[in-house]
Amino acid sequence: MPPVPPLPDDAFGRVLCVVAHPDDVEYGTSSAVAAWTARGIDVAYLLLTRGEAGMDALRPEETARLRTAEQLAAAEAVGVTEVRFLDHPDGVLEHGPALRRDIARVIREHRPDALLVGTWEIEFAAGLNQADHRVAGLAGLDALRDAGNRWVFPELLDEGLEPWAVRWLLSSGDPRPTHGVDVTGEALERGIASLEAHGQYLAGIPGHPPPRPMITGITALQGRAMGVPHAVLLRAWDLFAPPPIAQEAMAAAAGTAG
């Protein structure tokens, strides 16, 4: 197997990461974010919930406050200052027009070249994917398309938000990664610090491994595929490129012509 290639250096200048909960970006992906922000790429986070149902011992209001603060600190650790929360309900996140519209609104406001989501696959590297994570990934993909279509959610036009076409969709945790980001060194350190920022939340999860060995190990495993000590693997779709099958179809048509 040839090594997984890096994303092209000039692929994008603005990234919006869309995830369900505080801490979802911090299991490896935030090390890639640190590598990007160090290169001057603008990265923003959109959290669909505040993760308020995530701590058994605490009331949701209290958990929401705690996890919001931890997420802001986690973002800051990797150079992200813009963090937004949509306040959809944690645990029962629903895929549908309301969620798609709310994400599309932020896409039109932020105007990213790349949208990064977690995989929506039912089964992935970490086992069975959780409901909110599947919904967040799929709603992100759909909202990307909605953001570019003038006639879907016309109320966004009334808010002064013109359509915006996002070029790249990036998915983390996808079982078939196409690209990698080398995070060896400073980016890895900052990624570790970003998971450590969720200290109180993680303390409530019995048996959760400490962030340093966990993130070091996750990125080391992914680094093997890229041929570097530490990497974050992503699946990337270039939505401005014609699908490969279109080229094959045209070639097939040319072969049968006349």
Size of interface with Zn ion, in residues (CB under 5 A): 2
Stretch that binds Zn ion, among 21-29, 85-93, 166-174, 192-200 (CB under 5 A): 21-29
User: Does 52 participate in binding Zn ion (rule CB under 5 A)?
Assistant: no
Cβ partners under 8 Å of residue 80, min gap 6: 33, 37, 43, 44, 45
Stretch that binds Zn ion, among 5-13, 15-23, 69-77, 136-144 (CB under 5 A): 15-23
Q: Which two tokens stand for residue 59?
A: 């009331």
Distance of CA 249 to the CA centre of its chain: 32
Stretch that binds Zn ion, among 22-30, 111-119, 140-148, 239-247 (CB under 5 A): 22-30
Choice from 21, 88, 108, 198 touching Zn ion (CB under 5 A): 21
For Zn ion, the closer of residues 42 and 52 by Cβ is 52
Is the CA virtual torsion 195, 199, 201, 204 positive or negative?
positive
142 to 161, contacts with Zn ion by CB under 5 A?
none
User: Does 24 participate in binding Zn ion (rule CB under 5 A)?
Assistant: yes
Residue for token pair 């979802």:
24
**Local structure of 3: helix, strand or coil:** coil
For Zn ion, the closer of residues 22 and 79 by Cβ is 22
Give the residue nearest to Zn ion (CB): 21
For Zn ion, the closer of residues 21 and 67 by Cβ is 21
User: Does 70 participate in binding Zn ion (rule CB under 5 A)?
Assistant: no
Q: Which contacts (CB < 8 Å, 24+ apart) does range 127-131 have?
A: 129/173, 130/20, 131/91, 131/92, 131/93
For Zn ion, the closer of residues 21 and 230 by Cβ is 21
**Local structure of 8: helix, strand or coil:** coil
For Zn ion, the closer of residues 37 and 129 by Cβ is 129
Please provide the distance, in angstroms rounded to a whole number, between the alpha carbons at the two ends of the chain: 40
Q: Which residues bind Zn ion (CB under 5 A)?
A: 21, 24
